[in-house]
Structure 1
């Protein structure tokens, strides 16, 4: 029997009344700790941009082989994401976040000491498993513990941590590279760049001891008393905690949680949105720019020192505009931000491609377009995609469904990072960036036409919304 839907004005009143009963300090604390997992992802996506040129010279690699070294981490990420989705539903979000920190830490240390390219690839595969787990578990956990009216901002903390990790590593890469000449960097410098990545893994592991398990996962496992204890920490009034627990129980009671369940009407649409947005986000060019930023700047005519300096400017822009995205996510809404942001990204990428094509690829012009592109990405789809993926699936299958979407992201990321060096060399930078511009434009249109707005809705309300639209 279908539940009677409350009038909109009553739902708004309930949402407003809950705002004052939320323990914001506790919510921000545990969300910020979980978001530190993004530092690992951010560090690794950016560190390879400074190291790949030296690694290519150290092991005498072709463009195809350096593409494999860069993208090998993504194979590990696919494994980590696929396993993490299943294991987090079985053993809990917190335990698997611990596991992700261990894998990434081992991978970072091992990547600093390889004597062959095969060992380096193995190290990056191991680290990739940790990255794959953390990159979707952190926003998933935040979505399950955060109140509806704060979920966008708190979910954006994960992207902020990613941006900080990327920004910091640009400075680290530049600092390490300045410690010696070309020979020193080829033999030793890149090892320091990769090995320092163990620091965010250790920090993440230690901070996780202060994190509580997801109350939604606990209730799913029949541990209602533990779930209520955590909800009492989230809410200042016990009646609000009990009310949220009742809503969680009702939503879970209507879920079966099997693979077959994912493809039911409503949930099937949610999965389609998750997979398409995750896959296309990589064809918008973000990680190609992150992995190969110095190479792109050198292609535009900059020398290696200028290229490293330009990446540090990128890092500052990323952090500043991620903070802006954090502030706007719950005020403007997911779909409006993503659609506008990806349209701006498409224009910037087209501008980069056109600059290369007509032979006007000055370093300053390319830098301008890339900075504007990064600003648009970090304000909109950067945080928006992870917030969206973390909130459109029901509790019982959230880990599995989000891991499927994230695997789609890693597959696309692997393809792009593997072919980018050869594409840049063979097709030329103009065609390469035209392809990325098309990817951004497709996301913008898809967002406008297909994705419903989820701002200020509880996870249970979002689930019911998808089911209603499928009927």
Structure 2
């Protein structure tokens, strides 16, 4: 693997680390936020899901901007917004102020969730695209684990008081502010990153594209790569992406598959675990530290995401998703039965949740951002990926907003039973509509009939 491609992919994928950190850090602050801002189930759901409003906004508009102005400027913008969110959230004096800065952080997440995998997929060779684009998901789960771990450290060690002179009542502020360091690292790391050569070619900037391709390919390979990409770029359509082209008949079915796929990914229920893990564990009687159990979910998520690296370019995307959907459906169904029978005084609930996370990480978690970034044509990739990611974050918002209400009204049995059904539906959708993309160049994927 070319070292420049690897290094740049890792740098860009740091946006995923901030993505994961920003979305998961809220879980460790819930108890304090309920106390400080006097939140009930509905307002708690709003505080948690407010970031997802920003995600929806960022994801909806960033694709068109990326197709017009390039990938790199939007990545730099996301880094700045992550920094603003971290500072503002930690200094919030009211629930409304916190919601505002969480929305700003959500916009940053929405931008990163669209642009990071697109950029990596556009510089990666076809045979390595799955593993390289998966770096986005690996850094996301690393960010989730980092958020869980930093929450636990802040809450259970003397670091907050001795190093930062933060009282126990304000630990939640330090949890949010911990994001400042990776945000600064991400911004500085992006400065030397070149613009995507595929985007440059859609703007007829062949000189800069060749300059970038020299970092990634041997001299004898550059002309072949250049010609291959140029042959699949429409001169008129590539100059200016418009909505009419995105929804044109030849792209319409592919767009619908991408939108539905991205939305169903949230109906698996993975983020109710990451956002509300402490609330779920509060209903069990294992007796161990709730925040430590939450850290375990992050560790399992990371380990099985790394395991997926071995399979995504060998077994392919579709087989992994089929396996994951069925396995997650079974896990949720058994979890529902345990809550129905009120057999919660052991570690079986924790084991089931860890298994569910493992099944997600090795399947949907490994494929979601890879697949969205690769199924659309070059000329509309930014805008179409943005629409699909908008659907993902929109569904994430609804799931996160409604989970505390469902848990309060349906109980664990009804809530997890409902998500077992959603996972079975996701299996049927993948079986019927998802087409395989492993080992195929981005330009050749355009010619696959759907």
Q: What band does the TM-score fall into relative to the shorter chain?
A: over 0.9
Residue 186 of structure 1 and its aligned partner are, at CA, apart by 6.9
1:174 corresponds in structure 2 to 152
2:205 corresponds in structure 1 to 223
Aligned structure 1 segments of 4 or more residues deviating by more than 3 angstroms: none
1:11 corresponds in structure 2 to none
User: Which whole-Å CA distance do the structure 2 matches of 1:91 and 1:299 have between them?
Assistant: 49
User: Which whole-Å CA distance do the structure 2 matches of 1:188 and 1:94 have between them?
Assistant: 36
Matched residues, number:
441
1:137-152 aligned within 5 A: 137-152=115-130
Which structure 2 residue ranges, 5 or more long, are not aligned? 161-165
TM-score by length of 1: 0.91
User: Which whole-Å CA distance do the structure 1 matches of 2:29 and 2:137 have between them?
Assistant: 23
- The answer to whether residue 135 in structure 2 is matched with residue 157 in structure 1 is yes
Residue 202 of structure 1 and its aligned partner are, at CA, apart by 1.1
- The answer to whether residue 223 in structure 2 is matched with residue 242 in structure 1 is yes
User: Which whole-Å CA distance do the structure 2 matches of 1:302 and 1:61 have between them?
Assistant: 26
1:261 corresponds in structure 2 to 245
User: Which whole-Å CA distance do the structure 2 matches of 1:353 and 1:186 have between them?
Assistant: 36
1:420 corresponds in structure 2 to 403
Residue 302 of structure 1 and its aligned partner are, at CA, apart by 4.2
| 2:447 match: secondary structure | helix
1:51-450 aligned within 5 A: 51-179=29-157, 187-236=169-218, 238-253=219-234, 256=237, 257-302=241-286, 306-450=289-433
Which structure 1 residue ranges, 5 or more long, are not aligned? 1-22
User: Which whole-Å CA distance do the structure 1 matches of 2:381 and 2:217 have between them?
Assistant: 23
**Gap change, CA 1:255 and 1:430, over 3 Å in 2:** farther
Cα shift readout 1:105-143 (whole Å, capped 9, x = no counterpart): 101110001111111111101111111101121111111
| 1:252 match: secondary structure | coil
**Gap change, CA 1:242 and 1:362, over 3 Å in 2:** farther
TM-score by length of 2: 0.95
Larger deviation, residues 203-212 vs 264-273 = 264-273
Residue 363 of structure 1 and its aligned partner are, at CA, apart by 4.7
| 1:332 match: secondary structure | coil
Residue 264 of structure 1 and its aligned partner are, at CA, apart by 2.9
Q: Is the 8 A contact 2:286 2:347 kept in 1?
A: no
User: Which whole-Å CA distance do the structure 1 matches of 2:84 and 2:50 have between them?
Assistant: 16
User: Which whole-Å CA distance do the structure 2 matches of 1:295 and 1:100 have between them?
Assistant: 30
User: Which whole-Å CA distance do the structure 1 matches of 2:344 and 2:266 have between them?
Assistant: 24
User: Which whole-Å CA distance do the structure 1 matches of 2:392 and 2:195 have between them?
Assistant: 26
1:49 corresponds in structure 2 to 27
